[in-house]
Chains A and B, each alone.
Chain A
Amino acid sequence: MTTVGNSFMKAPMHLSLGLMSLLAIFLSNAVSAASPPLILGLDADMSSGSAKAGVAIRRGAEIAIDEINTRGGVLNRTLKLIVRDHRGNPARGVDNIVDFSEMQNLVAVLGGLHTPVALHELKTIHDKKVIYLSPWAAGTPIVENGYAPNFVFRVSVRDQYAGGFLTQKATSRGFRRVALALENTGWGRSNERAMKAGLLAQGLTAVGVSWFHWGRANMSEALNDLQALNPDVILLVANAPEGVAMVKRMAAYTKDRRIPIISHWGITGGQFFQQARDALKAVDFTFLQTFSFLKPPFPDRANRVVNYYLNAYPDVKRADDIFAPTGTAHAYDLVHLLAQAVLQAGTADRDRVRQALENLDEYQGLLKNYAPAFTVERHDALNAGDFRLSRFNNVGVIVPVE
């Protein structure tokens, strides 16, 4: 016993060090052998003016990922969500994409609400070959970006279609003097083209276009300019902060001068209802939506998600209260579509997965039966037929207008 102890004690130090490093190598091999999770990034405003949209997207993604992981993951690998906040700031967004691209096992990145951010990220997305899934940002050029291969896929509104849809809804209500109020960004300009095209298709032109800047808290100037043109409806393209300012300004007009606002859906990404609650009582305000848990196209599928949602996120007590529901629904479907593509590709290699996304089988989603969702030519899964107008009821629940 003593002899053994002594000889052990006498063993050269470098030998034991060598043994330990060997062990370390085995251990690290074992860890990597247990297939690391596939990473799905989320690059959205999580804290600024449209943070609600970001959170809604995150929840949709989380529910889908949990369902997938519960089934055993994809290719025996779990999915993991990593979130980066861009606060609606394109500079931050680009930096986030760069960060994500440097992560091993990254499959794709889910985007957020902001079209300007997405537009500014396009170059980096394609430089780094990052699959960009847009559950919200509607700018037409995001998908029609000129890159080939195109790494952007969208389950959301496309402004080009929204412009047609919103102008059609306006004229269907008998409005002829249509004015446009647009944020002075790439998204605003994307809608300008779409709306003007939509009006033109109906033999109309906009009576006026007013551009406003981000951060503009007082919309008097923008609205006064338009009012001077005597419009009977305003088509609004704004996010929540500027949307609130716009609605408040409209409500501030005398009743006879107030005109209805038909809005793009950007306003639902933030605390719009909470901040514009009083003004909304005085203003005829409807807006574009794609999906509602209150009137889902496939109630079974929707109920399953709602139940999951209410269990997982106790801050929401009823289906009515699920905020920015389109964000959650779009993200949910996109993650499932991605998982199907990875499965189909049989690899996590992003270029192979991109190809698989362009060649997906039919998929029964929350919003629709995608048959298929994307093709090589078509990276937008939704079209105008999937759109509807909605409004806030008196407690802020988004309810379809029909």
Chain B
Amino acid sequence: MWGSLFPLNSQLGRLPNSRRISLFGYALRVVIPLGIVIFSFMWSGGSYYLKNYVENELRQHVATIGVREAQRIQNQLEGLKNFARTLAGNDLLINGLIDLDSNSSYLPAFFYSLYPPVSSKGQVFLVDYKGRILISNRNSDPLSTVAPGKETISINQNSLTIRVPILYSGSIEGGVVLRYSASTYDKLFGGSVAGYDFFLYSDDNQVVYSTNSKLAETGQPAPSSDIDEWVQVRTHLANDNLSVSAASSISVAFETLKTLEFILFIGFATLLAVLVALLIISLVIVSKPLKNLAHNISKIRDANDLDRILNIEGPREISEVASAFNQMTDTLKSTIVSKNELIVLAETESKLKEAAEAANLAKSNFLATMSHEIRTPLNGVLGLTQLLTHSDLNKDQRKKVETILSSGQTLLAIINDVLDMSRIEAGGVELENNAFNLRNLISVISSPFQNLADEKGLHLRVSDQVAASLTLKGDPVRLRQVIWNLLSNAIKITAAGSVSLIITELEPEGGQPGPMKRKIQFHIEDTGAGISSDRLKEIFDPFTQADSSITRKHGGTGLGLAIVNQLTELMGGTIEVKSEINKGTQFNVTLCFDEASEQESDRLLESPVAEFNQAIPPMNVLVAEDNDINAMIASAFLRKFGHGVRVVENGKLAVNAAAEGWADMILMDIHMPEMNGMDATKIIRASETGKSIPIIGLTAEAFAERHTVFIESGMNDVLTKPYTEPQLLKTLSSGAILLGSGARNFKHSNPPADASQPQVRNPSDIRQSSADQASMALEVSEVGNNHALDNLQKQLGPDLVADLLGKAVETLRSQVVLLHAALGQQDTSAIQSVAHSIKGASGSMGATKIVTLAAKIETARDDPQQLQNLIIELDPTADATIHWWRNRDSERPNKQT
């Protein structure tokens, strides 16, 4: 009892030391790495900020110095210009221009005494109106002509030249030119601020003067202001056609920064160390009392002693934990008994629930099993009764037999419904997701009811308001079952008036579903007796009918609406019912479907016929086939292709018919009563008329060895049943070619490469057949191949397939009865014959499971032990097959609710 109180605790109690990380561990693995990461961020962030700050400061400082230097240069140049202007305004010089013949008496003395500003190396020239030099100071080198125009200043790496015009009476009559060579630039422009470089650029962006030839070399284009490692700020002197820039190296500034960064690093590192030390100290303080606490708690656990009390010690938070634990043990003591009671109660309840569920499952299983068990003998009864109806009976006997048949069929219908219901309840129904055309489906469902309605004098109105081309994806079989049940109910219940089926498309809610979602409402309305409102709630419950008299009057199991309801729910739809006594009932079934993709729609529509058919001229084809279904399928296809068809039931009749010369081609079943196909072929080939007629063998045997035997008997080709429309077409077309060419035997005109290989027209057909066989084997767990039946329906049309299905059901039933009889009499040849005919007939209708079983029985016909095992499967498989066909069948006149 106590042990169970601490199941977790006892687990955890052993774990922490080994798997959990201790507080020190946390400190070492989490806090310290985190600290180092934060430290790295702070340090790199800090040094990044510092660098940015220093660079910006430097930039600003350089800018300030640049502006100041620019001002200094401007002042310097202004001083020089003023000097030149003063000279130009001197009337001695003006006079000198006019007094060309005698100015030598005063101009030389004047010019030799001139001391230009800043540097005595400066040169001063007096030029005439065309710039021709009249005189200059003693330092002067020859100067090229400089025409005096407006006042200008020009500078390059060689010299600075300032020109000021001399005006007399408003016009320029000469000029003063002041020139400084590059050797004076240091004196003129030299940078005045230590630590900063200084440059002059001419207006064409040439370096004129530089204090640092590494950064800017005179005579070269000015460097970009954004060169790494230094900062340059440029100021343009508009009046003087030049730019002044100051610059400073960033790296020098950063040198000092490195010391600062080091100090920062030491600071952060110390801070980190102190923090780690503090952490460790506080862990030491905290961890000891925590350990004590854990130790004491585990003692209580180990002793299972809730009366034990923990010592309150250590820091406040830890003593609070201890105190809370003490309170918890107190509370636990008081609540522990009632909790145990609760646990017992819950356990009892869950056991009861399990028992109930098991009981329900047992019921479903029981029902399913029972249905099977009942159906097997019932099928026997029905089969034999059917056979009985074909025998000679007097009127009284016939009536009785028909009553047996009708009662048996009713009983079978009830059992089928019960089986359906129990399957749905047991979750044994899986929905298909196939493309189907809604318009077609509705017409298939509704057309058989027309007769029924006419018989009762009712007006059946079907209004299909959706697009004719609307192709949906879903389970058409289940949908069919739902609509079928509702319609058949409505017709059954309505004595007079009308029944309507109205299909409309609704807007999908809230735009939430994609554009491919279609919401379809099926509205079934009758003018029948109606259902009272108190019973309306129950009609979807199993075994409920609006009025128990209905069962008496109309028959039915009362499962129909329950099945409808369950299937609707299964398909994710809703069903609503409204009814008024003596007015009628309305059902609204609303279902959502995906719209089929374009390819799926196309595939539904496409017909493989055109491809081959156009190559084949209309022929007369003799079909020798004892099996009605196969004969019907073959003739339906042939008629569809535009050929004349004649069916005979056995080889003998085929030989006779061939002799008449009517036929252009023969489809020859192998296994037939009276005379088999191979014998018939041999006889026909021996005759004059049948020498060159194409004969195509039809067989349920897929094995190539057997095909070789058939071909050796004189057949041109062999077609494995069940065949598809394209396969038949292909075979027909090759036969037609044969016909045209006049070659009697295909095998001679196209001998095989290897004698051991079966000599068939096209080896790929065999492979195809084997593949079919393989796919059949794979699908053996399923009752039938829906796809094959879909194809058949597409190729032959729903009406004919409905016929075929009806016939198939009948045939299978008789065959099952006959097989039972043969098995009972241990008539080996009868077993083989019936089993083979099941393979042929049911195989054509896609019933793979029964075909497989029949094949097994055929193979094991001589082995009574094995036959015994196989017989057990016969009835359930046949039932499942018939059920599957019925589900596919739009005409189920024996289906009742």
Contact = CB atoms under 8 A, between A and B. Distances in A.
B53 interface: no
Contacts of B174: 89, 91
A48 B169 contact: yes
Contact of B171 (A47, A90, A116, A217): A47
Contacts of B102: 185-186, 189
Contacts of A217: 91
Interface residues of B, number: 21
A56 interface: no
A88 B106 CA distance: 20
Interface string B80-102: 00000000000110110111111
A128 interface: no
Contacts of A185: 95, 98-99, 102
B129 interface: yes
Contact of B169 (A49, A90, A120, A184): A49
A91 B95 CA distance: 12
A92 B97 CA distance: 10
A215 B91 contact: yes
A391 interface: no
B456 interface: no
Interface in B160-216: 168-171, 173-174
B308 interface: no
A87 B94 contact: no
Interface string A365-387: 00000000000000000000000
Interface string A191-228: 00000000000000000000011111100000000000
Given A87-B173, A214-B94, A215-B91, A184 B168 contact: no
A147 to B, nearest CB: 15
A87 B101 contact: no
Nearest to B130: A91
A243 interface: no
B132 interface: yes
Interface string A96-133: 00000000000000000010110110000000000000
Interface in B75-128: 91-92, 94-95, 97-102, 106, 128
A49 B170 CA distance: 9
Given A91-B130, A186-B99, A48 B170 contact: yes
Interface string A1-21: 000000000000000000000
A241 interface: yes
Contacts of B100: 90-91, 116, 120
Nearest to A186: B101
Interface in B710-760: none
Nearest to B127: A91
A214 B101 contact: no
A117 B128 CA distance: 14
Given A185-B95, A185-B102, A214 B168 contact: yes
B570 to A, nearest CB: 102
A91 B97 contact: yes
A214 B95 contact: yes
A114 B173 CA distance: 15
Nearest to A49: B169
Residue of A189, A214, A216 with highest tally of chain B CB at under 10 A: A214
A291 to B, nearest CB: 26
A91 B129 contact: yes
Interface in A33-59: 47-49
A95 interface: yes
B171 A214 contact: no
A214 B170 CA distance: 13
B135 to A, nearest CB: 13
Interface in B407-439: none
A114 B97 CA distance: 13
Contacts of B130: 91, 95
B177 to A, nearest CB: 16
A214 B129 contact: no
Contacts of A120: 100-101
A89 B92 contact: no
Nearest to A94: B100
Interface in B137-181: 168-171, 173-174
Contact of B91 (A47, A48, A213): A213
B168 A215 contact: yes
Contacts of A95: 130
Contacts of B91: 212-217
A182 to B, nearest CB: 12
Contacts of A92: 129, 173
A89 B129 contact: yes
A55 to B, nearest CB: 15
B319 to A, nearest CB: 109
B576 to A, nearest CB: 103
Contacts of A184: 95, 99, 106
Q: Taking each of A49, A119, A184, A189, which has the highest tally of chain B beta carbons within 10 Å of its own beta carbon?
A: A184
A64 B15 CA distance: 137
Interface string A219-251: 000000000000000000000010000000000
Nearest to B92: A213
B325 to A, nearest CB: 115
A87 B99 contact: no
A213 B169 contact: no
A185 B95 CA distance: 7
Contact of B101 (A114, A116, A212): A116
Contact of A89 (B97, B106, B170): B97
A95 B132 CA distance: 12
B128 A91 contact: yes
A185 B91 CA distance: 12
A88 B171 CA distance: 11
Contacts of A49: 168-169
A210 to B, nearest CB: 14
Contact of A87 (B92, B95, B106, B171): B171
A92 B98 CA distance: 10
Contacts of A116: 98-101
A253 B99 CA distance: 30
A48 B171 contact: yes
Contacts of A88: 98, 168-169
A87 B169 contact: yes
A42 to B, nearest CB: 18
B102 to A, nearest CB: 6
Interface string A164-200: 0000000000000000000111100100000000000
Interface in A320-335: none
Given A48-B170, A184-B106, A189-B102, 17 more contacts: A48-B171, A87-B168, A89-B174, A90-B98, A91-B129, A91-B130, A91-B132, A95-B130, A116-B99, A119-B101, A120-B100, A185-B99, A186-B99, A213-B92, A214-B95, A216-B95, A217-B91
21 contacts: A48-B169, A49-B168, A88-B168, A89-B98, A89-B128, A89-B174, A90-B97, A91-B130, A91-B132, A91-B174, A116-B100, A117-B98, A119-B101, A185-B95, A185-B99, A213-B91, A213-B92, A214-B95, A214-B97, A214-B168, A215-B94
Q: Which 3 pairs of residues, A with B, have the shortest CB-CB distance?
A: A215-B94, A213-B95, A213-B91
